[in-house]
Amino acid sequence: MSSSSHNGPVCLVRGSINIDEFYDVPQIVRPGQTISAISTSKRLGGKGANQAKAAACAGAVVLMDGAVGSGTEGREVIQELCAEVKGVKEPGVDVEALGSQGRILEERIRVWEQGSTGKAVIQRARDGENSIIILAGANFSQASEQYSPLIPPATTHLLLANEIPYESTLEYLNAASSSKDRKITSIYNPSPMPPAEQLKTFPWHQVDWLIVNEGELGDIAGSLFNDDSAIELEKDVKDAVENLTKAAAKDTVDDEAAIKVAKALHVSLPQLNNTDSKHTVNIICTLGAKGVLYTCSAAADQSEPRVKRLRAARLLRPIKDTTGAGDCFMGYLAAGLMRLQQEGKKEDDEAAFDEVIKRCLTVSIQCFSNSVSDHIADTLLDDAQACSICVENEGAQDSYGTIAQVEARLAANPIEEV
């Protein structure tokens, strides 16, 4: 099946494809030191591939736009990524159909003959620390020259993150915003975070949904709302930006500060591009164990943007691994927005949109980087908050639940509003 033969929404994921190599070690190796690994494993990863798999688990048809290296390794990666979607084991949850109607199409996965598939070598220490070495490999091969049009006509949603060339991100955003065939919803996660100069010139007016965690929200605000900024801010917003940028480094973020900053960015980001458009950037900020906040455009009968907080999903089992949890959130969000479109609902339908976010929270949480110590896990268990199917299972893509599993758990464990 090709994207052009599919009548429903199609999500184009322009992103990275990696092979993640994990080494469990007593402690992170020091310069000049040689240590023995306790165990090792290898899994499919990369932000783009993770997001594509999550969207497929959520029932979406996904066109993966990425690259792998040549030879047997590259072919095996494509085969594994585009295999039939299956769920994870869910003790105590009776779900008849563990599979998903979603799938990943391979017609845009390129083979890069000049090098290898991207790789991440990850050390995981007993105390929860980790160290990661990235080889970009095929991920930094350019795609645009191979395709015309750059965005296939069937595309309704575009998912982007930053493990690909920056120029490629800009090309795809511009092509999506210039599409005359249909409105393409662009969803962007600026991770790894670009330098401040790129943030200042980034085409925010071409982004519909910005997905960040607290630290990323602070990084963006600190880079854009400073003394050189052309945007004037109220004093309480300036104070909130300062609070957020300082607190993010100490992991003590004030939720009210995050809300004020998100509201300011929602309106102000497109102004940086000197456009006359009334475009606003909808923002979702994940708050780890505290859940999520979002600010999005006002409904037709409202004058103010909608701002809301939702609690995290309830933890049912111990945390095993948070690898790829943020990517899982992204993929499920894209699939949820696609489902709204299929059902003829709008994103400003508060009840319908909240159901999308609740599914994202139930399957995923973006709380800590890559691994969790026993102490942190015990704390979260005591709080009876903050987790989900994804972090209760090992690996990234191997831990993603299907939409049937997510809805079964959500029905048994409803998520509360703050």
Tens-digit pLDDT profile for residues 179-201: 877 889 999 999 889 998 999 89
Residue of 353, 392, 365 whose CA lies nearest to 213 = 365
Give the residue-averaged pLDDT of 397-404: 70
Band (237; pLDDT cuts 50, 70, 90): confident
Average pLDDT, the chain: 81
Angle between helices 235-250 and 214-224 (to 10 degrees): 130
Pick the range with the lowest mean pLDDT from 111-125, 126-140, 310-324: 310-324
> Which pLDDT does position 111 carry in this prediction?
94
Give the residue-averaged pLDDT of 58-75: 94
Band (279; pLDDT cuts 50, 70, 90): confident
What global pTM score does this model have? 0.85
Does residue 387 carry a pLDDT above 70? no
Please say whether the dihedral angle defined by the alpha carbons of residues 404, 414, 383 and 290, taken in this order, is positive or negative: positive
Does residue 307 carry a pLDDT above 80? yes
Cβ(326)–Cβ(372) under 8 Å? no
How many whole angstroms separate alpha carbon 166 and alpha carbon 186? Answer: 16
For residue 45, give every residue at least 6 positions away whose Cβ sits within 8 Å of its Cβ, in sequence order, or none.
18, 19, 20, 120, 323, 324, 396, 397
Give the residue-averaged pLDDT of 85-91: 63
Q: pLDDT higher for 274 or 139?
A: 139
Residue that is written with structure tokens 């973020």 in the block: 253
> Which pLDDT does position 293 carry in this prediction?
92
Give the residue-averaged pLDDT of 268-290: 81
Q: Say how many CA atoms lie within 13 Å of 241 toward its Cβ.
A: 20
Does residue 325 carry a pLDDT above 80? no
Q: What are phi and psi of 373, to 5 degrees?
A: -75, 160
Percent of the chain with pLDDT over 90: 38
> Which pLDDT does position 99 carry in this prediction?
54
> Which pLDDT does position 398 carry in this prediction?
64
Residue of 203, 143, 145 whose CA lies nearest to 13 = 143
Band (348; pLDDT cuts 50, 70, 90): confident
Give the residue-averaged pLDDT of 131-143: 89
For residue 272, what is the DSSP state?
A: G
> Which pLDDT does position 336 carry in this prediction?
94
Does residue 290 carry a pLDDT above 50? yes
